[in-house]
Amino acid sequence: MGDNDILIDPKLLEILVCPISKTPLVYDRQKQELISKAAGLAYPIRDGIPIMLVDEARPLEMDE
Write the pLDDT tens digit of every residue in 8-46: 888 988 899 999 999 999 999 999 999 999 999 999 999
- In this prediction, residue 54 carries a pLDDT of 96
Which listed CATH number (2.20.25.10, 3.20.20.70, 3.30.1010.10, 2.30.29.30) goes with 3-59? 2.20.25.10
pTM for the whole thing?
0.85
Confidence bin at 1 (pLDDT 50/70/90)? very low
Distance CA 24, CA 6 (A): 21
Distance CA 30, CA 32 (A): 6
- Looking at residue 1, what DSSP letter applies? -
